[in-house]
Amino acid sequence: MRCLITGGAGFIGSHLAEHLLGLGHEVVVLDDLSTGREENLAGLPGRERLRLVRGSVLDADAVEGCMAGVDAIYHLAAAVGVFTIMGRTLESLRTNLGGTETVLEAARRHGVPILVASTSEVYGKNTAIGLTEDADRIVGSPLLNRWSYAEAKALDETLAYLYGVEYGVRTVIVRLFNTVGPRQSGRYGMVVPRFVQQSLAGEPITVFGDGQQVRCFCHVLDVVPALVALLADEGAHGTVYNLGNPEQTSIGELAERVRAATGSRSPIVKVPYEEAYGPGFEDMERRVPDCTRAFERIGFRPTRSLDTILRSVIQEYR
């Protein structure tokens, strides 16, 4: 098979590329290298079967130029990271809305199945312990910058769903819950690489807010095979799947665990949200997935604990 991965030079995309190459497929990566990095793809086994095209998903010609012989599309390209969303909100909104429509159009024209990566962020402030795919979305004012990401991704889901219903495009939507692991950068806000780098450097570990907020971290290597299995499964098409690890950790506890695992003496400091992200920020108190649907469909069950995740990220930064 030949697979197109938009955003394939990014953190999750490059692991997906590695997995698909490992299965013997050809891979075309379309990436504007805004947050993705060529180095993420450099040493991959089977790299000779991968073609990297530098271009934007907003550019319909660039997308079309990648489509020859493609059998499956994984649409991962997006503006990511809370720092990016808060700092370049309009540009992020445009990328996340326009990019998805452009890629869905290509899928429709070529009759190719497509997986659209969405996010647990769409649930917003719903704190249910075990969010199911049909849980209500509770989001704040559209004038608060943070919610623009959730709004864009929710509309992407609706678009993908309607391309399925009205045009017969074979689509799968996945909502990813705090996917982490090697190659993830801390530059755009993600907490695990930031805490690890801060600890290893002996710098203060910056806990935003009171540290009571809860997240569930899932190793990227647990997520990637599920993306492939879902898109390959005709019975999985036309709906949305949560993918995450239900193990809950507060951000305060995460800071402690990273410090202990690195043997660091970094102080743990609390930074008010406004100072961290600027005005217009609301955080989610808790975000916990219920992945029953993905388990029943493809047997999805993450096996890597937070300790394993932290070990792999610490090893990489060391």
Q: Which residues bind ligand UDP (CB under 6 A)?
A: 82, 121, 178, 189-191, 194, 206-209, 213, 215, 251, 283
Active-site entry in 149, 188, 241, 277: 149
Shorter beta-carbon distance to ligand UDP: residue 81 or 99: 81
Pairing outcome for strands 248-250 and 214-216: antiparallel
Q: Residue 134 CB: number of other CB atoms within 10 A? A: 8
The 3-state DSSP class for residue 129 equals strand
- HSE on the CB side for 74, CA within 13 Å? 31
How big, in percent rounded to 5, are the helix, strand and coil portions of the chain? 45, 20, 35
Q: How far is the CB of 208 from ligand UDP (least distance, A)?
A: 4
Quote the tokens at residue 290: 């219920």
Q: Is 149 a catalytic residue?
A: yes
Shorter beta-carbon distance to ligand UDP: residue 189 or 289: 189
CA distances, 188 to each of 139, 183, 194, 238 (Å) = 22, 13, 9, 32
User: DSSP character for 236?
Assistant: G
Distance CA 132, CA 114 (A): 22
Q: Residue 313 CB: number of other CB atoms within 10 A? A: 25
Residue 297 parent element (H or E): helix 292-298
Shorter beta-carbon distance to ligand UDP: residue 56 or 264: 264
Shorter beta-carbon distance to ligand UDP: residue 127 or 206: 206
Residue 103 near residue 61 (C-beta atoms within 8 A): no
Q: How far is the CB of 164 from ligand UDP (least distance, A)?
A: 27
Q: How far is the CB of 209 from ligand UDP (least distance, A)?
A: 6
Shorter beta-carbon distance to ligand UDP: residue 173 or 251: 251
Q: How far is the CB of 304 from ligand UDP (least distance, A)?
A: 17
Q: How far is the CB of 173 from ligand UDP (least distance, A)?
A: 18
Residues recognised as catalytic: 149
